[in-house]
Amino acid sequence: MSEQNGQTRVKVENLQKLFPISKGLFRKSTDFVYAVDGISFEIKEGESLGLVGESGCGKTTTGRVLVKLEDATGGQAFVHNSDRDEMIDVMDVESPEDRKEFRKHVQMIFQDPYESMNPRRTIYDIVAEPLKVHNLGTTEEKEQRVVDLLRLVGLTPPEPFLFRYPHELSGGQRQRVAIARALVMEPTFVVADEPTSMLDVSIRISIMRLMLELAEKLGVTYLYITHDLAVARYMCDKIAVMYLGKIVEMAPTEELLSNPMHPYTRALLSAVPVPDPSYQRPQVEIEGGVARAINPPDECRFIERCPFAVDECKTAHPNLFDRGNDHLVACYLVAPDGSWTGRERAKLELRS
Partner 1 sequence: MTDIQTRAAEGGLGTERSHSEVPILEVKNLVMNYEIKAGMVSAVEDVSFTLPKGHSLGLVGESGCGKTSVALTLMRLAAANARVLGGEVRLDGENLLELNDEEMRQRRWDDISMVFQGAMNSWNPVYTVGEQIREAMDLHWEPRPSAAEARAKTEELFQLVGLNPEMIDRYPHEFSGGMKQRAVIAMALSCDPKLIIADEPTTALDVIVQEQILEELRKIQHEFGMSIIYISHDIAVIAEITDLMGVMYAGKLVEFGDTVDIFARPRHPYSWLILSSTPSITGPRRQLAPLEGEPPNLLDPPSGCRFHPRCPFATQKCTDEEPPLEEVEPGHKIACWNYEQVPVGILAEAE
Which residues make up the interface to partner 1 (CB under 8 A)? 54-55, 170, 172-173, 200-203, 205-206, 208-209, 227-231, 233-234, 257, 267-279, 284, 286-287, 289-290
Nearest distance from C-beta of residue 115 to partner 1, angstroms: 16
Nearer Cβ to partner 1, position 26 or 279? 279
Answer whether 316's CB lies under 8 Å from 331's CB: no
Nearer Cβ to partner 1, position 127 or 207? 207
Nearest distance from C-beta of residue 176 to partner 1, angstroms: 11
Nearest distance from C-beta of residue 140 to partner 1, angstroms: 31
Nearest distance from C-beta of residue 46 to partner 1, angstroms: 18
Nearer Cβ to partner 1, position 72 or 235? 235
Report the distance separating Cα 43 and Cα 191, nearest Å: 12
Nearest distance from C-beta of residue 173 to partner 1, angstroms: 8
Nearest distance from C-beta of residue 267 to partner 1, angstroms: 6
Nearer Cβ to partner 1, position 228 or 312? 228
Report the distance separating Cα 142 and Cα 227, nearest Å: 36
Nearer Cβ to partner 1, position 286 or 310? 286
Nearer Cβ to partner 1, position 272 or 346? 272
Calculate Rg over the CA atoms of the chain.
22
Nearer Cβ to partner 1, position 138 or 278? 278
Compute CA distances 300 → 248, 312, 317, whole Å: 10, 9, 4
Nearest distance from C-beta of residue 314 to partner 1, angstroms: 23
Q: Which of 31, 40, 34 is nearest to 18 (CA)?
A: 34
Nearest distance from C-beta of residue 318 to partner 1, angstroms: 21
Nearer Cβ to partner 1, position 203 or 335? 203
Nearest distance from C-beta of residue 202 to partner 1, angstroms: 4
Q: Which residues of 237-272 are buried (b: 16+ CB within 10 A; e: fewer)?
A: bbbbbbbbbbbbbbbbbebbbeebbbbbbbbbbeee
Nearer Cβ to partner 1, position 178 or 267? 267
